[in-house]
Amino acid sequence: MEFLLLVFRWIHFVAGIIWIGLLYFFNLVNVPYTKTVEAKDRPAHVPKLLPRALAWFRHAAWVTVLAGLVLIIWNYWRFGRVLSFSESPESADPAANTIFVGMLLGLIMLINVWGFIWPNQKKVIGATVKGEKPDPQWGKTALLFSRTNFVLSFPMLLFMGSATHYPMGWLYIIIFGIIAAIIGYLVVNTVQK
């Protein structure tokens, strides 16, 4: 079983690196780059780059979450280590709380990928391939949810790494989560301006 857990952890890490790496690529590189390309030249870039990048992006998202769920079930929930709002040392499990919040943020991000980012980007790609002008709202909606995921990724990564190394009580989860989200917001808005 230890070998299987190692495999799932490795899959979780690799898929997560692909997912979050592409999220950062889209927000830190692709969006600023696209702003420098003249509107008449953009249709040449969309059908070549976006379908492949978004395929890796959305499939890495569900693989990351699925592998993560296997790990949280096996390492936490099967032992009864679940979310606890108690702050008493006997009943609180800071590691379970920390990983749960990270998992919750990852699930929200997965929903954003499959429910908002991909459907709108698919419309943009489809219209562009047909030689039609995409509705600007599609791109704006995809960008809004992509930026949301960028911001959420900062506390999500903090909590995923902290669960086993620096588990936190609720007060620190809230404080450090807000600080990490603010840092993510400042980074993405600074780069995209």
Q: What percent of the chain has pLDDT over 70?
A: 97
Coil, helix or strand for 84?
coil
Which pLDDT score, from 0 to 100, does residue 184 have? 97
Confidence class for position 88, pLDDT limits 50, 70, 90: low
Report the alpha-carbon distance of residue 167 to residue 75 in Å, rounded. 15
Under a CB-based contact definition with an 8 Å cutoff, are residues 170 and 94 in contact? no
Q: At what angle do helices 42-75 and 118-129 cross, to 10 degrees?
A: 160
Which position has the token pair 């709202």? 137
Give the mean pLDDT of 49-65.
Answer: 96
Confidence class for position 45, pLDDT limits 50, 70, 90: confident
**Cα–Cα–Cα angle for 112, 114, 115, rounded to 5 degrees:** 65
Is it the case that residue 87 has pLDDT exceeding 80? no
Is it the case that residue 122 has pLDDT exceeding 70? yes
Report the alpha-carbon distance of residue 157 to residue 55 in Å, rounded. 22
If you write DSSP's letter for every residue of 125-181 in order, what string do you get? Answer: HHHHHTTPPPPHHHHHHHHHHHHHHHHHHHHHHHHHHHHHHS---HHHHHHHHHHHH
Residue closest to 55 by CA, chosen among 125, 1, 106, 102: 125
The domain ranges of the chain are 2-192
Q: Which residues contact 103 (CB under 8 A, 6 or more apart)?
A: 68, 69, 72
Under a CB-based contact definition with an 8 Å cutoff, are residues 167 and 98 in contact? yes
Is it the case that residue 137 has pLDDT exceeding 70? yes
